[in-house]
Amino acid sequence: MPHKAVRRRILEVMTSSSGRRPKHLPSSPFKPAVEPVVEVFEVGDRVTHDIYGLGQVTHLDSHAVTVDFGDKSVRIAHPYPKLHHL
């Protein structure tokens, strides 16, 4: 039994993440990670989505935009994957 408890504790420690990236060292041979550019949308913006097609932004809140694609409205969460301005 102690073996399973140790294994479980190790897995919990290994899978927990603080959400932060490690600090990039100047001596590292690897390039630092590039921060993604987050687009800013406004109500009325014409947009395109890789899955849903053409649409128009109908509502904004702090964590998502709602887009009307004609046959359906879809709420797309920040950082708005696959959603682009026209």
Q: What is the DSSP string of 50-63?
A: TTTEEEEEEEE-SS
Segment 4-48, tens digit of pLDDT = 555 555 555 555 455 666 787 888 888 887 777 778 899 999 999
How far apart are alpha carbons 58 and 69 in whole angstroms? 10
For position 19, what pLDDT does the model report? 60
Q: Would you state the structure tokens that stand for residue 76, as one six-digit string?
A: 């797309």
For position 79, what pLDDT does the model report? 85
**Whole-Å CA distances, 78 to 5, 35, 51, 52, 83:** 38, 15, 16, 17, 10
Segment 64-76, tens digit of pLDDT = 999 999 999 999 9
Is the model more confident about 79 or about 64?
64
For position 14, what pLDDT does the model report? 53
